[in-house]
Amino acid sequence: MFDESYDFTVKERFLRYVKYDTQSNEESETFPSDPKQLELSKDLVKELKEIGLEDAYMNEYGYVFATLPSNTDKEVPVVAFIAHVDTAPAVTGKNVNPQIFENYQGGDIVLPNGKVIEEAKNPELKDMIGFEIITTDGTTLLGADDKAGVAEIIDAMNYLIKHPEVKHGTIRVCFTPDEEVGRGTEKLDIKELGAKYAYTIDGGTRGEIETETFSADAVDIKFFGKNVHPGYAKGKLVNAIKVAARFIEMLPKDKLSPETTEGREGYVHPISISGNEEETQVKFIIRDFVDEKLTEYEDYLEELVKKAVAEFPGSNYEFKRIEQYRNMKHIVDQHPEVEQYAIEALERLGIKPIQSAIRGGTDGSKLSYMGVPTPNLFAGGHNFHSVLEYVAREDMEAAVKTIVTLAQIWEEKS
Protein backbone atom coordinates (compact mmCIF):
# COMPACT_ATOMS: atom_id res chain seq x y z
CA MET A 1 0.00 0.00 0.00
CA PHE A 2 1.22 3.50 -0.82
CA ASP A 3 1.64 5.82 2.15
CA GLU A 4 -0.97 8.48 1.41
CA SER A 5 0.62 10.81 3.95
CA TYR A 6 3.72 11.08 1.77
CA ASP A 7 4.67 14.66 0.92
CA PHE A 8 5.11 14.52 -2.86
CA THR A 9 7.95 16.54 -4.41
CA VAL A 10 6.98 15.94 -8.04
CA LYS A 11 5.15 19.23 -8.68
CA GLU A 12 7.92 21.37 -7.17
CA ARG A 13 10.57 19.51 -9.14
CA PHE A 14 8.61 19.73 -12.37
CA LEU A 15 8.06 23.49 -12.07
CA ARG A 16 11.77 23.92 -11.54
CA TYR A 17 12.80 21.73 -14.48
CA VAL A 18 10.60 23.48 -17.03
CA LYS A 19 12.57 26.67 -16.46
CA TYR A 20 15.56 25.06 -18.19
CA ASP A 21 15.66 25.51 -21.96
CA THR A 22 16.54 21.99 -23.15
CA GLN A 23 15.28 22.11 -26.72
CA SER A 24 17.12 19.65 -28.94
CA ASN A 25 18.19 20.50 -32.50
CA GLU A 26 17.33 18.18 -35.39
CA GLU A 27 19.76 19.95 -37.73
CA SER A 28 22.77 19.44 -35.46
CA GLU A 29 25.30 16.67 -35.98
CA THR A 30 26.80 16.94 -32.49
CA PHE A 31 25.78 14.83 -29.50
CA PRO A 32 23.93 16.00 -27.63
CA SER A 33 22.45 18.09 -30.40
CA ASP A 34 22.51 21.20 -28.20
CA PRO A 35 24.74 21.37 -25.11
CA LYS A 36 22.19 23.47 -23.23
CA GLN A 37 20.46 20.19 -22.36
CA LEU A 38 23.41 19.39 -20.12
CA GLU A 39 22.62 22.22 -17.72
CA LEU A 40 19.52 20.43 -16.47
CA SER A 41 21.27 17.05 -16.52
CA LYS A 42 24.10 18.36 -14.31
CA ASP A 43 21.61 19.61 -11.77
CA LEU A 44 19.68 16.34 -11.87
CA VAL A 45 22.86 14.56 -10.78
CA LYS A 46 23.00 16.87 -7.75
CA GLU A 47 19.36 16.18 -6.91
CA LEU A 48 19.79 12.43 -7.20
CA LYS A 49 22.72 12.59 -4.80
CA GLU A 50 20.74 14.81 -2.42
CA ILE A 51 17.96 12.22 -2.10
CA GLY A 52 20.51 9.46 -1.43
CA LEU A 53 21.54 7.97 -4.79
CA GLU A 54 25.23 8.41 -4.07
CA ASP A 55 26.56 6.95 -7.34
CA ALA A 56 24.69 9.41 -9.58
CA TYR A 57 26.76 10.81 -12.45
CA MET A 58 26.57 12.19 -15.98
CA ASN A 59 28.73 10.51 -18.59
CA GLU A 60 30.62 12.11 -21.47
CA TYR A 61 27.56 12.01 -23.76
CA GLY A 62 25.15 13.65 -21.32
CA TYR A 63 23.37 10.53 -20.04
CA VAL A 64 22.54 10.63 -16.34
CA PHE A 65 22.72 7.36 -14.39
CA ALA A 66 22.03 6.43 -10.78
CA THR A 67 21.34 3.29 -8.75
CA LEU A 68 18.91 2.54 -5.95
CA PRO A 69 20.38 -0.61 -4.39
CA SER A 70 18.22 -3.63 -3.68
CA ASN A 71 16.82 -3.96 -0.15
CA THR A 72 15.68 -7.58 -0.48
CA ASP A 73 17.33 -10.97 -0.23
CA LYS A 74 15.52 -12.11 -3.36
CA GLU A 75 17.17 -12.30 -6.78
CA VAL A 76 15.22 -9.59 -8.58
CA PRO A 77 15.95 -8.55 -12.19
CA VAL A 78 17.44 -5.06 -12.42
CA VAL A 79 14.78 -2.68 -13.74
CA ALA A 80 15.48 0.80 -15.12
CA PHE A 81 13.19 3.81 -15.24
CA ILE A 82 14.01 6.21 -18.06
CA ALA A 83 12.94 9.71 -19.12
CA HIS A 84 14.39 12.31 -21.46
CA VAL A 85 15.44 15.86 -20.60
CA ASP A 86 15.11 17.47 -24.03
CA THR A 87 12.05 19.17 -25.45
CA ALA A 88 10.82 19.20 -29.04
CA PRO A 89 12.41 21.41 -31.73
CA ALA A 90 9.05 22.47 -33.17
CA VAL A 91 8.05 24.92 -30.41
CA THR A 92 10.34 27.00 -28.23
CA GLY A 93 11.06 25.85 -24.69
CA LYS A 94 12.77 29.11 -23.67
CA ASN A 95 11.35 31.30 -20.90
CA VAL A 96 8.60 28.84 -20.01
CA ASN A 97 6.06 30.54 -17.75
CA PRO A 98 3.84 27.82 -16.25
CA GLN A 99 0.31 28.69 -15.20
CA ILE A 100 -1.53 26.85 -12.43
CA PHE A 101 -5.29 26.38 -12.53
CA GLU A 102 -6.38 25.05 -9.14
CA ASN A 103 -9.56 23.05 -8.61
CA TYR A 104 -10.48 22.79 -12.29
CA GLN A 105 -14.26 22.65 -12.63
CA GLY A 106 -14.67 21.91 -16.32
CA GLY A 107 -14.90 24.05 -19.41
CA ASP A 108 -12.28 25.63 -21.64
CA ILE A 109 -8.98 26.78 -20.17
CA VAL A 110 -8.04 30.26 -21.42
CA LEU A 111 -4.31 30.96 -21.38
CA PRO A 112 -2.87 34.43 -20.65
CA ASN A 113 -2.21 35.21 -24.33
CA GLY A 114 -5.76 34.27 -25.32
CA LYS A 115 -5.11 30.79 -26.68
CA VAL A 116 -7.61 28.22 -25.48
CA ILE A 117 -7.37 24.59 -24.39
CA GLU A 118 -10.82 23.59 -25.56
CA GLU A 119 -12.71 21.07 -23.46
CA ALA A 120 -14.38 19.67 -26.59
CA LYS A 121 -11.00 18.86 -28.14
CA ASN A 122 -9.46 17.54 -24.90
CA PRO A 123 -11.79 14.80 -23.62
CA GLU A 124 -9.29 13.85 -20.89
CA LEU A 125 -10.30 17.04 -19.07
CA LYS A 126 -13.58 15.43 -18.01
CA ASP A 127 -11.54 13.15 -15.74
CA MET A 128 -9.72 16.09 -14.12
CA ILE A 129 -12.55 17.80 -12.25
CA GLY A 130 -11.11 19.15 -9.01
CA PHE A 131 -7.53 18.68 -10.24
CA GLU A 132 -4.71 21.20 -10.24
CA ILE A 133 -3.77 21.72 -13.90
CA ILE A 134 -0.48 23.20 -15.04
CA THR A 135 -0.34 24.87 -18.47
CA THR A 136 1.87 27.22 -20.46
CA ASP A 137 1.16 30.92 -20.87
CA GLY A 138 0.42 30.21 -24.53
CA THR A 139 3.78 31.34 -25.92
CA THR A 140 5.94 28.22 -25.37
CA LEU A 141 5.53 24.53 -24.83
CA LEU A 142 5.39 23.41 -21.20
CA GLY A 143 7.92 20.59 -21.20
CA ALA A 144 5.81 17.89 -19.57
CA ASP A 145 7.24 15.82 -22.41
CA ASP A 146 9.29 14.65 -20.66
CA LYS A 147 10.24 16.70 -17.64
CA ALA A 148 7.14 15.32 -15.94
CA GLY A 149 8.66 11.85 -16.37
CA VAL A 150 11.98 13.04 -14.94
CA ALA A 151 10.28 14.55 -11.90
CA GLU A 152 8.15 11.46 -11.36
CA ILE A 153 11.10 9.09 -11.40
CA ILE A 154 13.09 11.18 -8.92
CA ASP A 155 10.10 11.54 -6.60
CA ALA A 156 9.49 7.77 -6.78
CA MET A 157 13.11 7.10 -5.81
CA ASN A 158 12.74 9.61 -2.98
CA TYR A 159 9.68 7.72 -1.74
CA LEU A 160 11.44 4.36 -1.81
CA ILE A 161 14.43 5.75 0.07
CA LYS A 162 12.16 7.23 2.72
CA HIS A 163 10.13 3.99 2.94
CA PRO A 164 12.66 1.16 3.33
CA GLU A 165 9.82 -1.17 4.32
CA VAL A 166 8.86 -1.26 0.63
CA LYS A 167 10.96 -4.10 -0.75
CA HIS A 168 12.46 -3.80 -4.21
CA GLY A 169 15.32 -5.06 -6.32
CA THR A 170 18.11 -2.93 -7.75
CA ILE A 171 16.67 0.00 -9.70
CA ARG A 172 18.55 2.00 -12.29
CA VAL A 173 17.64 5.56 -13.18
CA CYS A 174 18.55 6.96 -16.59
CA PHE A 175 17.87 10.39 -18.09
CA THR A 176 18.67 10.78 -21.78
CA PRO A 177 19.26 13.70 -24.15
CA ASP A 178 17.97 14.09 -27.71
CA GLU A 179 14.96 11.77 -27.61
CA GLU A 180 12.87 14.31 -29.48
CA VAL A 181 15.19 14.20 -32.49
CA GLY A 182 15.25 10.38 -32.55
CA ARG A 183 18.74 10.06 -31.08
CA GLY A 184 18.00 9.30 -27.44
CA THR A 185 19.73 5.92 -27.48
CA GLU A 186 22.43 6.78 -30.02
CA LYS A 187 25.26 6.80 -27.47
CA LEU A 188 23.58 4.72 -24.77
CA ASP A 189 25.72 1.79 -23.61
CA ILE A 190 23.47 -1.08 -22.55
CA LYS A 191 26.16 -2.38 -20.20
CA GLU A 192 26.32 1.02 -18.55
CA LEU A 193 22.54 1.07 -18.22
CA GLY A 194 22.87 -2.26 -16.43
CA ALA A 195 19.22 -3.34 -16.53
CA LYS A 196 17.43 -6.42 -17.79
CA TYR A 197 14.11 -4.62 -18.24
CA ALA A 198 13.13 -0.97 -18.38
CA TYR A 199 10.21 1.43 -18.57
CA THR A 200 10.19 4.84 -20.20
CA ILE A 201 7.98 7.29 -18.32
CA ASP A 202 7.04 9.29 -21.38
CA GLY A 203 3.38 8.64 -22.13
CA GLY A 204 0.27 10.75 -21.87
CA THR A 205 -3.08 9.93 -20.26
CA ARG A 206 -3.24 8.50 -16.75
CA GLY A 207 -3.16 4.71 -16.94
CA GLU A 208 -1.54 4.36 -20.37
CA ILE A 209 0.68 1.36 -21.01
CA GLU A 210 2.18 1.38 -24.47
CA THR A 211 3.85 -1.77 -25.73
CA GLU A 212 3.53 -1.04 -29.43
CA THR A 213 4.99 1.80 -31.47
CA PHE A 214 5.23 2.82 -35.07
CA SER A 215 8.08 1.45 -37.09
CA ALA A 216 9.92 4.39 -38.60
CA ASP A 217 12.18 5.36 -41.46
CA ALA A 218 13.41 8.67 -42.81
CA VAL A 219 13.75 9.48 -46.48
CA ASP A 220 16.15 12.10 -47.82
CA ILE A 221 15.48 13.16 -51.41
CA LYS A 222 17.76 15.47 -53.39
CA PHE A 223 16.69 16.98 -56.70
CA PHE A 224 19.44 18.17 -59.01
CA GLY A 225 18.96 20.82 -61.67
CA LYS A 226 21.24 22.95 -63.82
CA ASN A 227 21.76 26.52 -62.77
CA VAL A 228 22.42 29.19 -65.36
CA HIS A 229 22.38 32.99 -65.05
CA PRO A 230 18.64 33.79 -65.33
CA GLY A 231 19.31 36.46 -67.93
CA TYR A 232 20.67 33.85 -70.33
CA ALA A 233 18.81 30.78 -69.14
CA LYS A 234 16.41 30.02 -71.98
CA GLY A 235 16.69 26.37 -72.98
CA LYS A 236 19.46 25.81 -70.43
CA LEU A 237 18.18 26.33 -66.86
CA VAL A 238 16.67 23.35 -65.03
CA ASN A 239 15.35 24.59 -61.70
CA ALA A 240 15.62 21.97 -58.93
CA ILE A 241 13.18 23.97 -56.77
CA LYS A 242 10.47 23.55 -59.41
CA VAL A 243 11.16 19.83 -59.70
CA ALA A 244 10.80 19.46 -55.93
CA ALA A 245 7.63 21.57 -55.97
CA ARG A 246 6.12 19.38 -58.69
CA PHE A 247 6.91 16.30 -56.61
CA ILE A 248 5.31 17.82 -53.50
CA GLU A 249 2.22 18.68 -55.54
CA MET A 250 1.90 15.01 -56.56
CA LEU A 251 1.56 13.82 -52.95
CA PRO A 252 -1.95 12.55 -52.10
CA LYS A 253 -4.11 15.10 -50.32
CA ASP A 254 -6.75 12.78 -48.86
CA LYS A 255 -4.65 9.89 -47.53
CA LEU A 256 -1.20 8.84 -46.33
CA SER A 257 -0.55 12.03 -44.36
CA PRO A 258 -0.68 12.74 -40.60
CA GLU A 259 -3.60 15.13 -41.04
CA THR A 260 -5.74 12.46 -42.74
CA THR A 261 -4.82 9.31 -40.76
CA GLU A 262 -5.51 7.88 -37.31
CA GLY A 263 -5.49 4.62 -35.37
CA ARG A 264 -3.32 2.06 -37.10
CA GLU A 265 -2.99 3.96 -40.36
CA GLY A 266 0.53 4.89 -41.44
CA TYR A 267 1.71 7.96 -43.29
CA VAL A 268 4.42 9.73 -45.29
CA HIS A 269 5.20 13.21 -44.01
CA PRO A 270 7.43 15.89 -45.54
CA ILE A 271 9.18 17.72 -42.71
CA SER A 272 11.56 20.11 -44.47
CA ILE A 273 12.51 21.53 -47.84
CA SER A 274 15.58 23.60 -48.61
CA GLY A 275 17.89 24.43 -51.48
CA ASN A 276 18.28 26.43 -54.66
CA GLU A 277 18.10 26.05 -58.45
CA GLU A 278 21.04 23.66 -58.53
CA GLU A 279 20.03 21.35 -55.68
CA THR A 280 16.91 21.10 -53.52
CA GLN A 281 16.46 18.68 -50.63
CA VAL A 282 13.17 17.33 -49.29
CA LYS A 283 13.12 15.31 -46.06
CA PHE A 284 10.38 12.87 -45.06
CA ILE A 285 9.49 10.70 -42.10
CA ILE A 286 7.68 7.42 -42.89
CA ARG A 287 5.56 5.66 -40.25
CA ASP A 288 3.50 2.48 -39.92
CA PHE A 289 2.94 -0.31 -37.40
CA VAL A 290 3.82 -2.91 -40.05
CA ASP A 291 7.47 -2.92 -41.14
CA GLU A 292 6.70 -4.01 -44.70
CA LYS A 293 4.46 -0.99 -45.21
CA LEU A 294 7.46 1.31 -44.87
CA THR A 295 9.04 -0.18 -47.98
CA GLU A 296 5.72 0.08 -49.80
CA TYR A 297 5.40 3.79 -48.96
CA GLU A 298 9.02 4.49 -49.87
CA ASP A 299 8.70 2.76 -53.22
CA TYR A 300 5.59 4.84 -53.87
CA LEU A 301 7.46 8.05 -53.06
CA GLU A 302 10.31 7.13 -55.38
CA GLU A 303 7.85 6.52 -58.22
CA LEU A 304 6.48 10.03 -57.71
CA VAL A 305 10.02 11.38 -57.70
CA LYS A 306 10.73 9.67 -61.03
CA LYS A 307 7.56 11.13 -62.54
CA ALA A 308 8.47 14.63 -61.40
CA VAL A 309 12.02 14.35 -62.73
CA ALA A 310 10.70 13.06 -66.06
CA GLU A 311 8.76 16.30 -66.52
CA PHE A 312 11.99 18.33 -66.28
CA PRO A 313 14.53 16.96 -68.82
CA GLY A 314 18.06 17.39 -67.55
CA SER A 315 17.12 17.04 -63.88
CA ASN A 316 18.10 14.11 -61.68
CA TYR A 317 17.62 12.88 -58.14
CA GLU A 318 19.10 10.95 -55.22
CA PHE A 319 16.83 8.89 -52.95
CA LYS A 320 18.15 7.79 -49.54
CA ARG A 321 16.28 5.56 -47.05
CA ILE A 322 17.32 5.72 -43.38
CA GLU A 323 16.07 3.25 -40.75
CA GLN A 324 15.07 4.99 -37.53
CA TYR A 325 13.36 2.47 -35.23
CA ARG A 326 11.08 -0.56 -35.28
CA ASN A 327 7.85 -1.55 -33.49
CA MET A 328 8.78 -2.58 -29.94
CA LYS A 329 5.87 -5.04 -29.82
CA HIS A 330 7.92 -7.69 -31.63
CA ILE A 331 10.28 -7.76 -28.64
CA VAL A 332 8.03 -6.90 -25.70
CA ASP A 333 5.59 -9.69 -26.57
CA GLN A 334 8.41 -12.16 -25.88
CA HIS A 335 8.52 -10.90 -22.26
CA PRO A 336 4.85 -10.63 -21.25
CA GLU A 337 5.61 -10.09 -17.57
CA VAL A 338 6.93 -6.59 -18.34
CA GLU A 339 3.46 -5.47 -19.40
CA GLN A 340 1.56 -7.69 -16.95
CA TYR A 341 3.34 -6.23 -13.92
CA ALA A 342 2.57 -2.70 -15.09
CA ILE A 343 -1.10 -3.59 -15.48
CA GLU A 344 -1.13 -5.08 -11.98
CA ALA A 345 0.48 -1.95 -10.53
CA LEU A 346 -2.25 0.23 -12.01
CA GLU A 347 -5.02 -2.07 -10.85
CA ARG A 348 -3.68 -2.06 -7.29
CA LEU A 349 -3.85 1.73 -7.36
CA GLY A 350 -7.38 1.77 -8.74
CA ILE A 351 -6.23 3.22 -12.06
CA LYS A 352 -7.83 1.79 -15.18
CA PRO A 353 -5.11 0.40 -17.47
CA ILE A 354 -5.21 1.80 -21.00
CA GLN A 355 -3.30 -0.49 -23.34
CA SER A 356 -2.58 1.46 -26.47
CA ALA A 357 -0.26 1.75 -29.43
CA ILE A 358 1.86 4.86 -29.88
CA ARG A 359 1.53 6.73 -33.16
CA GLY A 360 5.18 7.57 -32.71
CA GLY A 361 8.18 6.11 -30.95
CA THR A 362 10.08 6.30 -27.69
CA ASP A 363 13.58 5.50 -26.54
CA GLY A 364 12.01 2.14 -25.65
CA SER A 365 11.62 1.29 -29.33
CA LYS A 366 15.36 1.06 -29.85
CA LEU A 367 16.13 -0.15 -26.34
CA SER A 368 13.90 -3.17 -26.90
CA TYR A 369 15.92 -4.10 -29.98
CA MET A 370 19.13 -3.46 -28.06
CA GLY A 371 18.16 -6.25 -25.66
CA VAL A 372 16.20 -4.41 -22.94
CA PRO A 373 12.41 -4.79 -23.34
CA THR A 374 11.07 -1.32 -22.57
CA PRO A 375 7.35 -0.44 -22.60
CA ASN A 376 6.22 3.15 -22.17
CA LEU A 377 4.16 4.29 -19.16
CA PHE A 378 2.12 7.44 -18.68
CA ALA A 379 3.66 10.65 -17.40
CA GLY A 380 0.35 12.53 -17.45
CA GLY A 381 0.97 15.23 -20.03
CA HIS A 382 -1.26 16.22 -22.95
CA ASN A 383 -0.89 18.19 -26.19
CA PHE A 384 2.82 17.51 -26.37
CA HIS A 385 4.96 19.74 -28.63
CA SER A 386 2.34 22.48 -28.41
CA VAL A 387 1.71 25.79 -26.69
CA LEU A 388 -1.51 24.12 -25.45
CA GLU A 389 0.42 21.49 -23.47
CA TYR A 390 -0.83 20.73 -19.96
CA VAL A 391 -0.46 18.26 -17.11
CA ALA A 392 -2.33 17.72 -13.83
CA ARG A 393 -0.47 17.50 -10.53
CA GLU A 394 -2.64 14.56 -9.51
CA ASP A 395 -1.66 12.62 -12.63
CA MET A 396 2.03 13.20 -11.95
CA GLU A 397 1.50 11.91 -8.43
CA ALA A 398 -0.32 8.87 -9.85
CA ALA A 399 2.74 8.18 -12.01
CA VAL A 400 4.97 8.32 -8.91
CA LYS A 401 2.71 5.77 -7.21
CA THR A 402 2.80 3.55 -10.28
CA ILE A 403 6.61 3.49 -10.38
CA VAL A 404 6.79 2.65 -6.68
CA THR A 405 4.16 -0.08 -6.93
CA LEU A 406 5.76 -1.55 -10.03
CA ALA A 407 9.13 -1.82 -8.27
CA GLN A 408 7.38 -3.58 -5.42
CA ILE A 409 5.66 -6.06 -7.74
CA TRP A 410 8.92 -7.02 -9.45
CA GLU A 411 10.27 -7.91 -6.00
CA GLU A 412 7.15 -9.86 -5.01
CA LYS A 413 7.09 -11.91 -8.21
CA SER A 414 10.79 -12.86 -8.06
Buried b (16+ CB within 10 A) or exposed e, 284-311: bbbbbbeeeebeebbeebeebbeebbee
First-last CA distance in the chain: 19
- Which strand (E) or helix (H) includes residue 391? strand 390-392
Bond prior to 108 in cis (omega within 30° of 0): no
CA distances in angstroms from 399 to 59, 172, 202, listed in the order given: 27, 17, 10
Spatial distance between the Cα atoms of 222 and 309, rounded to a whole number of angstroms: 11
Sign of the dihedral through C-alpha 231, 235, 239, 242: positive
Task: Classify residue 29 by burial, with Cβ atoms within 10 Å: 0-12, 13-18, 19+.
Answer: exposed
Q: State the catalytic residues.
A: 86, 179
Question: Among 281, 294, 284, 357, which residue's Cα sits nearest to residue 325?
Answer: 294
- Residues 93, 388: Cα–Cα separation, whole Å: 13
Greatest pairwise CA separation for the chain in angstroms: 83
Cβ contact 104:133 at 8 Å: yes
* Amino acid code (one letter) for 367: L
235 three-class SS: coil
Going by C-alpha positions, the residue among 318, 308, 320 that lies closest to residue 239 is 308
